[in-house]
Amino acid sequence: MTRTSSTTAHNPIRVAGRSRLAIVGITALEALAWWAMLAQVFGITLEAKQGSVVRIGAVSVFVASVAMAFAGWGLLALLERRTLAARETWTSVALIACILSLGGPLTSGIGIGAKLGLASLHLLVGSVVILGLRRTALSAADRRRPAFWGRRADR
């Protein structure tokens, strides 16, 4: 007879390789790599008009992608504590935010290349964050268990 350890059965553990911090790092690296392709390889000048003309450089891409990944992480963590449908709610909100974010580059980008390049950066960051963080979310069944986050309810 095989017994399942009560520690394993009642303490949901995040699967190795699904670290939220890793998703933040991957998001930044992917965004920087795509920015380099757009700006350096394809020669697209990534500029937007935001009051004045702003050239989008590597630092801007890094800061924005990390900020969005951390914002997504924070919202997911909050929803996990407040609702059982955290994964589904978060995914819906994140998809809507990603789609709405396209308005910025499509209206502010200077030239068709910049508009499409900046929109593609938004879609890349959005897809990495959405797909990556979604995989790290505990299922509703795991969060309903009495021993959430490694503490036993009967102690």
Task: Work out the number of other CB atoms within 10 angstroms of the CB of residue 80.
Answer: 19
pTM assigned to the model: 0.78
In this structure, the dihedral spanned by the alpha carbons of residues 133, 83, 100 and 122, taken in order and rounded to 10 degrees, is -10
46 in Cβ contact with 39 (< 8 Å): yes
pLDDT band at 8; cut points 50, 70, 90: very low
Residue 105: predicted pLDDT: 93
pLDDT band at 92; cut points 50, 70, 90: very high
Reply yes or no on whether the pLDDT at 155 is more than 90. Answer: no
Residue 70: predicted pLDDT: 97
